[in-house]
Structure 1
Amino acid sequence: MIGRNMDTRAVLRSLFDVAVAAADPARSLPHFLPERPRGRTVVVGAGKASAVMAQAFEAAWPYALTGVVVTRYGYAVPCERIAVLEAAHPVPDEGGVAGSIALFDAVRGLGPDDLVVALVSGGGSALLPSPPPGLTLVDEQLLNRLLLESGLPIGEMNLIRKHLSTIKGGRLARAAFPARVVTLVLSDIPGDIAAEVASGPTIPSAATRHDALALVERARLPLPDKFLQRLHDPSSDAPRPSDPDFARHEVHVIGSAALSLEAAAAEAQRAYGLPSAILSDALEGEARDAGRFHAAIAHEVAARGRPFASPILLLSGGETSVTVTGEAGQGGRNTEFALAAAIGVEGGPGAITGLAADTDGIDGMSGGAGAFFDTTSVARLRLAGFDPKTVLARHQSGSAFAAIGDLLVSGPTRTNVNDFRAIIIRPG
């Protein structure tokens, strides 16, 4: 049971580990194996979890197969029949270009009796640079930087990406035609829209280049003319869901933020007798605004026992964003959330302790997965020489939390279902 002497940070870390474990493909992937084809089985994939997914698929698939997947540097795991390539994330590099070429090579020349299994997870957008005519890798690197600094939700970023690529938006699956394609998705997208994960290399897009152009204009994204010219070209339209090339395809979401949050809630009740409330598994918007909102709820619970009585564990997932103003500091969306929340609960009633962390173990440029916070965080930051509001304005939350020992350093988890936020509220 949660008592006054309970180490709430240890509890939060254990629940983070449970949430990550729930997104382990070795647990979920075997339940979604496709029927064995009469012809060949070819595995392709991209994302931070693609190597672990490939390893899980090899273990569960007793038949012959070949394949290749692309993952982030440092995320590879041993596979016997599937080649694992590594590339840069979040800004693409030549390794990603080579990976895109390798995926196209893997699906070339297949027939109607062949099966392509696509293993797709978050991070695949940056890992598969494949610029269209008129653009280069340098252009795609610039596009990624602009998108990452824009504050746009991940789904909107990927809407633009898939119309400035020759592999995203279902184009890899089109290259595999007439083979049947089964896509298994570990979702990092709020709402678990499979076509948006990794910009959907094997899933056709319901959006058009006109939607992308409208988004660029609305967001005032400073794209150079060459990008805009490309988006005005009809050839930049991604394949549509009605395209007959995709008639035999299947898509399955095998892991998501919702499942991980549910696992954490169940563990909190089982191990600590702590009731939980899942606020949302699809939260988006500015990280600092989300932090303030969570802090307001925690304060209301601690002060007035509404909308929940304490003790209580508040959980949320999804993917917030950070709109960078000026130079980017050493931080990430989860440390920025944590700092805003810490400012919001400073000196508040009750005992409030929280954790905001990315389930892939890497939160932007923070150096960790995220950070812990409580009602004493702001005071401790000031003692260490930091002005919390200035730190927040300069996007330096990672450096600040590291200085007071509140950064969570988990290392790469090799999975990814986006942000994990947990706040324990106890009576004072």
Structure 2
Amino acid sequence: MTSISEPGFDRRAFLIGLFEAAIAAADPAEALKGQLPERPKGRTVVIGAGKGAAQLAGAFEAAWEGPLTGLIVTRYGYGAPLERLALREAAHPVPDAAGAAAAVEMLGLLRGLTADDLVVALITGGGSALLPAPGPGMTLADEVAVNEALLASGAPISVMNAIRRELSEVKGGRLALAAAPARVVTLIVSDVPGDRPEEVASGPTVPGAGSRAEARRLVETWGISLPDAAARALAGEENPAPLPGDPGFAGHEWRVIASAARSLEAAAARAEAAGVAAAILSDAVEGEAREVAKVHAALAREVALKGRPFALPVVLLSGGETTVTLGASGGRGGRNGEFALAVALAAEGLPVRALAADTDGIDGTEDNAGAFADGGSAGRLRALGADPAALLAAHDSYGAFAQLGDLFVPGPTGTNINDFRAILVG
């Protein structure tokens, strides 16, 4: 990589290089090294779900010596060639019938196993929507409505998952219990703040510590409007999510093999190799994307104008998962685009260049992973006859950065370690 001290240093290429370093650190083949369980006396059944599950499954096939069977579910367009494992594609972030059928098929694969058998679960972010399995009294349409209400609420992932676990036949460890008495080893690529195994994909093989009463309290606290069937299910005590102490989980293992923390460290090393100091602010940032952007921009302003708390040049790195609370008009873009547009406004006029992107390659429902922003982005939008503040209020970051030619569209990356944010100051 060209050093910042050399003529022609390309700041956009620098930011892309940091993103690529972060993705490389979560490469499935590297992440699996030293993580394979011992071969069992009986069968090996592999199950997987998530936006990076197909690539992780391909790496597992290449590394595993011995027979195996199983089923992997990923998002449409995120597949990868698999030789021994079946692959299904389904919708994300809103579940569909293909995902529901895959969940039924996966549950069928797990029934009838013995204590000599091994189940390896390959779980990455996005698995929650890809494995819809409505709880008692609910339909797929109800689960879709629940998912849409949660996504629009602005609630953090831990709150959403506490509710999802109580309204599903697979989440919150239920999928693992379906494999009893087989041993289950779960290998996780984390996309959640804090890398808590039970939060990734709503923990289909990992139990959470919540309760039905806690889920009801969270629905009320966050003002979440659930469909009638889901509200009735949550009001009762039938089919509660299993707890960590359930004897069905005895002997099971959960391992986080790739995460935002490791990827940010790799990005920092890449920056320093180019002569730019790197400051990792946090790998577990949560909150409204536009508010998080204001805090990042305020720090960038302090550095740019006063040289504190970091000397110039420096790149500020952070990960985690922000949220966007949508109004009735909806929006166009995702949380990383929203972050970038808010930075463009809050850091206007400053010598900053930023990239905010979802590490799976898709930010929300459009084709971009996120966007580039700098201290001149807002002014360039006004010169085009657009109002950046109005675009932010309408959650139309996609429209804003499409006009500027500053969308970041790398395509599916094959992994998912959540948000990646880099702000180069100086």
TM-score (norm: length of structure 1): 0.97
AA at the equivalent of 1:323: T
- Of 225, 232, 236, the residue aligned with 1:233 is 236
| Structure-2 residue corresponding to 1:344 | 346
Give 2:345's aligned amino acid. Answer: I
* Cα distance in structure 1, aligned partners of 2:417 and 2:38: 27
Conserved? CA contact 1:30–1:56, under 8 Å: no
Report if aligned partners of 1:366, 1:397 keep a CA contact under 8 Å in 2.
Answer: no
Residue 120 of structure 2 is aligned to residue 112 of structure 1? no
2:208 is aligned, of 205, 223, 226, to 205
Contact 2:142–2:229, Cα closer than 8 Å, also in 1: no
* Structural RMSD (CA): 1.0
1:165 to 164, 168, 171: 168
Q: Distance in 1 between matches of 2:389 and 2:151?
A: 22
- Which residue does the alignment assign to 1:319? 321
- Tell whether the 8 Å contact from 1:75 to 1:412 is kept in structure 2 after alignment: yes
Partner residue, 2:387:
387
Question: Paired residue for 2:42?
Answer: 39
1:106 Cα offset (Å): 1.3
Equivalent residues in 2 for 1:9-48 (5 A)?
9-48=12-51
- Superposed, which structure 2 residues align to 1:216-255 within 5 Å? 216-255=219-258
> Residue 339 of structure 1 aligns to which amino acid in structure 2?
L
Gaps (5+ residues) in structure 2?
A: none
| Distance in 1, Cα, partners of 2:122 & 2:30 | 15
Greater shift in the superposed pair: 254-263 or 220-229: 220-229
- Please tell me whether the aligned partners of residues 17 and 270 of structure 2 are also in contact (alpha carbons under 8 angstroms): no
Q: Please name the residue that 1:87 is paired with.
A: 90
Shift of 1:134: 1.1
1:385 & 1:164 partners in 2: Cα distance? 47
Q: Which amino acid in the other structure matches residue 104 of structure 2?
A: I
Distance 2:157 2:50 in 1: 14
Corresponding position: 1:50 with 2:53: yes
Q: Where does residue 292 of structure 1 map in the other structure?
A: 294
Cα distance in 2 for residues equivalent to 1:405 and 1:223: 39
Task: Supply the AA of the counterpart residue of 1:131.
Answer: P
Q: Show CA shifts across 1:310-359 (max 9, x none).
A: 100110000000000121221110010001111011113xx210100000
Give the stretch that moved more between structures: 64-73 or 224-233.
224-233
What's the CA shift for 1:193?
0.4
Check conservation: 1:365, 1:398, Cα contact below 8 A: no
Counterpart residue number, 1:372: 372
Whether contact under 8 Å (1:209, 1:236) holds in the other structure is: no
State the Cα distance separating 1:366 from its structure 2 match.
Answer: 4.1
Letter in 1 for 2:116: D
Q: How far apart are 1:22 and its partner, in Å?
A: 1.1
Among 182, 196, 200, the residue aligned to 2:199: 196
Give % identity.
Answer: 59
TM-score normalised by the chain length of structure 2: 0.98
Task: Tell me what 1:281 maps to.
Answer: 283
Is residue 40–residue 113 contact of structure 1 (8 Å, CA) maintained in 2? yes
Shift of 1:416: 0.3
Q: Deviations over 1:55-79 (max 9, x none)?
A: 0110010111100010000011011
